[in-house]
Amino acid sequence: MRFIISADSTCDLSKKQIEENSIGIIPLHIGLGGKEYLDGVDICPDDIYAYVDGGGALAATSAVNPNEYVQYFKKWSAENDFIIHINISADFSSCYQSACLAAEAFENVYVVDSRNLSTGHGLVVMEAVRLAKEGMQPGEIVSYLQELTDRVEASFILEHLSYLRKGGRCSSVAELGANILKLRPCIEVKNGKMGVGKKYRGHFDKCLKDYVTDQIKGRDDLDLRRIFVTHSRLDEDTVQIAVDTVKELQPFSEICVTDASCTVCTHCGPGTIGVLFIRKSASDV
């Protein structure tokens, strides 16, 4: 069967993964300096950082609207037996609702809420690709993905809180205290929503190693086929600390290093890094 697995630009998959698997990507909108751009098309994270570093306000993100989804699905629908489109969590954006509305006009378009963001979202996309290539029927793929979303673990550690403070998600006092105490909060995605987990203290490289260790050490419930290390403007040596720690602790078959998209960077800023992976299903444990 001919098919397309598709996602919003928030999935943060690498260019190589997208091209090798013919994944369709529809970009969210980024508002910056009074102008609107398309995530990953005519704006990249460094454009946002440069603008904010120069004293500009934070960028704003907005969802893909139903009409845009209709035009997007129309392009693929006539050429394929089915399309499975996977969205950023409905708790973070109205993209899922808009895609569902648009899909009503097509008999072969299926929409899935990833209940996640960044490569937590991307992990669901990659599983959809695998299942479609194996010949699973679209309805069965959707049912599997809906169960899978509860088994995706996504979290990030932040080097600093400046973007959270500028976005009104923490106070100046909290940012100052965190800087003085060298606190690095872990942001976790659970049940489709973000919350603050453990706070690490000390040099960022040490905190990063401790954070990765807490996430995966000694666990026998992990799907070891793939793990993502996704970051926003961190140097190669720092990213390598995360990769090396993963290698020391678990024998993942594939460690995928990717850059965070504009949508994620708009809210977390530079200096953010996470490890994202899937737990085994109950039948595999």
The structural domains of the chain, with segments of one domain joined by +, span 3-150, 151-279
Q: Give me 146's structure tokens.
A: 């809906």
Side chain identity, residue 273: I
Helices 204-216, 236-249: axis angle to 10 degrees equals: 30
Is a pLDDT exceeding 70 seen at residue 169?
A: no
Q: What is the mean pLDDT of the segment spanning 45-70?
A: 92
List Cα–Cα distances, 40 to 23, 229, 284, in angstroms. 15, 19, 37
**Residue range 108-114: average pLDDT?**
98
Does domain 151-279 fall into CATH 3.30.1180.10?
yes
Query: Does the structure show a pLDDT above 90 at 194?
Result: no
pLDDT > 50? residue 74: yes
* Weakest-pLDDT range from 8-17, 107-116, 178-187: 178-187
pLDDT score, position 285: 53
Class for the domain spanning 3-150:
alpha beta
The tens digit of pLDDT for each residue in 118-155 reads: 999 999 999 999 999 999 999 999 999 999 999 999 99
